[in-house]
Amino acid sequence: MRRSAVSAHPRTSSRATRRRGRTLAYSGGAAALAAALLATGVTTGTAGATTHRAEDTGASRTATALGLGEREQLVVKDTITDRDGTTHTRYERTYAGLPVLGGDLVVHRAADGKVTGSTRATQRTIAVDSLTPKVTPAAATSRALRVAKSDRTAPGAKSDTPRKVIWAAKGKPVLAYETVVRGVQADGTPSRLHVVTDATTGLELHRYQAIHNGTGTSQYSGKVPLTTRKSGSTYQLTDTARGNHNTYDLKGGTSGRGTLFTDADDVWGDGTPANRQTAAVDAAFGAATTWDFYKTTFGRNGIKNDGKAAYSRVHYGNSYVNAFWDDQAFAITYGDGQGNKKPLTSLDVAGHEFSHGVTSATAGLRYSGESGGLNEATSDIFGTGVEYAAKNASDPGDYLIGEEIDIRGDGSPLRYQDKPSRDGKSADYWTPDVGKLDVHYSSGVANHFFFLLAEGSGKKVIDGVSYDSPTKDGSTLTGIGRDKALRIWYKALTTYFTSTTDYRGARAGTLKAAADLYGAGGTEAKAVAAAWTAVDVKG
């Protein structure tokens, strides 16, 4: 699967306030950044909301403070405000008006407005000698199409017009093209392959798949409540209580939204895959349950924290054994499984796919290398959280991913969080090569960390399920509980992770999160450090 209720902590339970489209010029290190931001008059109001004074002159004032022109600008993506008034403002960056891929950063401020530090996707200063490409857009397109072919995107794939960007996620920042190739992956999943090409040499710098997909459990949530909307004499499967989430029937198609589900008596489905409404019921229930999980647990109001819902599509393709999140469409799509008899619409799948949207709206973890593994693990972690929060007797919570679909035909789950290698492919521990694995398998390191942090090591039975979680260093760990582990991961994702965060960065971010929530020297912070060491991620 691709790109998940706990009690509020008395000190720092978070809520988020969004601020979009504002810019601040920036260059240099963290100290210079702090001075520059203070110089522009960016402060924190008494209610905790970020206030930007003199926005029309803020960029030029910052540039003056740094002795720079206005080639670099920061665009506010969102702001998280903790209950104690601490704020974490996430910025995307531009250089000479061009998007900087890997240039994102988070600025942290105390309640009095003082800048306390920053977390950056790259430590390099952005400086590009020339903004005139030597490679033509046509050449970049040709390269991207060749990459798509090697990446098993179906013949006939089409490319969008390349856009000029600055590539800064790895190595020296350079002028580049980003090209999106649209097609179909080998298993029938849509493809939105992003290919980054050096605009001087024409060489590929990076590729990642923007359709985040996976497999999960089927449709066994039993009888569930649904919020619908009455229109005339019929009911629509529109959740008016949660951002107007709509559920559509693709009827075996692979494009468009499909047809909105309607019903005459507001009684939906019958629990069997033969009834087309059944999959829609599970999809709508999964979206509602995940929305409620995020709101109750973290105070988050929807994927983008703006109160607006994504939408869901069911009955995608023919015997399609997958589900995926499409960030551009802002939608979750579900196949019907083998023989169109097992729609992939269970709670952990819904939570997983919804959470890809949350990751995109916050840290933006790139879907490749170690950051891609963290992206996948984030969705597994919160998918588990959703399943437990639902307290559904038909699909009780566990640390197994996709345990009901039986995709292998032997009754085994798709993935295991206690010992990921039980699936035969996932990594239990970090190695220098873990980032070369498929992101679904490199996610094992973070999934294993989460289980150890929540439940501890060794053999145990939890809610009727047997687990046996080892440690690399032979240590014996005691868990701090799933609720605290979820809260720490969310805090790290939304305030300390960036697009390029790797496993070492995840360790640092979760340690900061634990310190923020529970104190720097507390049991929780010590448990975070021990759990990362147990999966061989060291500081």
Phi, psi of 61 (to 5 degrees): -65, -40
Residues 6+ apart with CB under 8 A from 304: 18, 78, 357, 361
Alpha-carbon torsion, ordered 287, 288, 293, 295, to 10 deg: 110
Residues 6+ apart with CB under 8 A from 171: none
Residue 494 forms beta bridges with which residues? Answer: none
Burial readout 346-362 (b: 16 or more C-beta within 10 A, e: otherwise): bbbbbbbbbbbbbbbbb
Taking every pair of Cα atoms in the chain, the longest distance, rounded to a whole number of angstroms, is 68
Q: How far apart are CA 151 and CA 461, in angstroms?
A: 41
Strands 14-17 and 311-316: unpaired
Residues 6+ apart with CB under 8 A from 385: 4, 293, 297, 351, 482, 486
Q: Which residues are catalytic?
A: 353, 440
Q: Which two tokens stand for residue 259?
A: 């047809």
The neighbour count for residue 124, using CB atoms within 10 Å, is 14
DSSP 90-149: EEEEEETTEEEET--EEEEE-TTS-EEEEEES--S----S--S-SS-HHHHHHHHHHHHH
Given the structure tokens 């969008």, which residue do they identify? Answer: 160
Q: 184: part of which helix (H) or strand (E)?
A: strand 174-184
Q: How far apart are CA 110 and CA 238, in angstroms?
A: 41
Q: Which two tokens stand for residue 374?
A: 């963290």
Radius of gyration of the chain (CA): 23
CB-based contact 479:453 (threshold 8 Å): yes
